[in-house]
Structure 1
Amino acid sequence: MDRAKREMWKKCAAALCSLELPDGFGIDELLVAVSRQRGGRPILARPADLTGSTPLGLVVQHRGHDTILYPRDTTVVHQRHCIAHEIGHLALGHLGDPGEPAQPGSGELDVELVLGLIPDLHPSLRGKHRTRATYGDLAEREAEQFATMVHTLAMSLGGAVPRQREEKPLPAGLRTLFDASPLASVDHPCGV
């Protein structure tokens, strides 16, 4: 692993391990932990019709809370990864303070697109939110690393692998391959 990747790994591991997540944690516990770390600011996760030119996940910063939107029409594992990726942006401080004005060229999404994704947004909240659809390459790599570490840590602390849409028996060769511990060759982010 080169120096830049090692530094990114350390930064993501420090952010994740500082959350002090319980054994067997899931997305709900992760949302609560990041909310607590950010001064109690609530974080909601909700499915949205993210297709076409929209991103696969995004964070909308409202005046009093944040909403993570993730794709409705995908697998449970992919939804959880998208949510963990967006949580990574929050935990790693990529979005900044929601009270700060947006910077030109910051990747803000069009307000009408956001309102289309959150059709039940209360009228008093319209125009009082921030969202970003793009981040610098480093921020995207960090959020992706954070999401991967979330899954590694959850599995090592007794989390269950979520079932996919349909339970089908695996052929014998694949069953042998997938029965192996997924953590056998992965460095544990929190040294457990």
Structure 2
Amino acid sequence: MKRSLRHRCETRLRQLALPDVVTSMVDVVDHVERLRERPVRLRPLSLPPGGPTGAWVATSVLDYVFYERDTSPRHQAQIIAHELGHMTSGHHSSPAAVLAPLLLAPGAATVMLAREAYATDEEREAEQMADLLVAYVEASMERAPALSALEAALKRDSRRL
């Protein structure tokens, strides 16, 4: 029996072993860089209306995540998380070549995925991963002040011993 998309993505999220406290999507990007052992560069762009709002471009040595500059920080985090969802799901193809001339010299990219529609299984999977990643970051940010206070208290108590 096939596992549900959400279950597969929840399993993948656990396998990422994100730190307990992440304060932004940049922390998640840093973690994915370490896991993939290659740099991920975030690049804001003003993309044309009606087109993709984000893209993942993998070169032979690093990954670029392009995201819409002219949108809310929450939407930017969702776009970045979506592209990370593609990376962490092992996706490798997309009909995104139309965006390549806007971003890089032709032929420079080995993998390019552009976030535009959710008609394919890969896009639905990447968006489910994005939802889970953003929720993880938001929940972590809510826990962070409480954890910081607890850590500070434990450090104070350990100095008394």
TM-score normalised by structure 2 residue count? 0.74
SS in 2 for 1:54: coil
User: Could you tell me how far apart the structure 2 residues matched to 1:10 and 1:36 are?
Assistant: 24
What are the ranges of 5 or more consecutive residues in structure 1 without an aligned counterpart?
97-105, 119-124, 161-192
> Is 2:39–2:62's contact at 8 Å kept on the other side of the alignment?
yes
User: Could you tell me how far apart the structure 1 residues matched to 2:124 and 2:113 are?
Assistant: 16
> Is 1:94–1:139's contact at 8 Å kept on the other side of the alignment?
yes
Counterparts of residues 29-178 of structure 1 (less than 5 Å) = 29-38=27-36, 40-95=37-92, 106-110=94-98, 113-117=99-103, 127-129=107-109, 130-133=111-114, 137-159=120-142
> Is 2:25–2:134's contact at 8 Å kept on the other side of the alignment?
no
Q: Which amino acid aligns with 1:32?
A: D
Q: Post-superposition shift, 1:115?
A: 4.1
Pairing 1:12–2:29 present: no
> Is 1:23–1:159's contact at 8 Å kept on the other side of the alignment?
no
Q: How has the CA–CA distance of structure 1 residues 36 and 72 changed in structure 2, closer, same or farther, with 3 Å as cutoff? A: same
Note the alpha carbon deviations across 1:118-140, whole angstroms, 9 max, x for none: 6xxxxxx7522131336762111
> Is 1:49–1:117's contact at 8 Å kept on the other side of the alignment?
no
SS in 2 for 1:158: helix
Note the alpha carbon deviations across 1:68-98, whole angstroms, 9 max, x for none: 00001000000000000110000011127xx
Range with greater deviation from structure 2 (28-37 or 126-135): 126-135
User: Could you tell me how far apart the structure 1 residues matched to 2:31 and 2:11 are?
Assistant: 14
User: Could you tell me how far apart the structure 1 residues matched to 2:45 and 2:135 are?
Assistant: 26
Q: CA RMSD in A?
A: 2.5
Q: Which amino acid aligns with 1:20?
A: A
- Which is helix-richer, 1 or 2? 2
User: Could you tell me how far apart the structure 1 residues matched to 2:49 and 2:140 are?
Assistant: 36
User: Could you tell me how far apart the structure 1 residues matched to 2:102 and 2:95 are?
Assistant: 18
Q: Post-superposition shift, 1:117?
A: 3.5
TM-score normalised by structure 1 residue count? 0.63
The percentage of aligned residue pairs carrying the same residue is 33
> Is 1:84–1:146's contact at 8 Å kept on the other side of the alignment?
yes
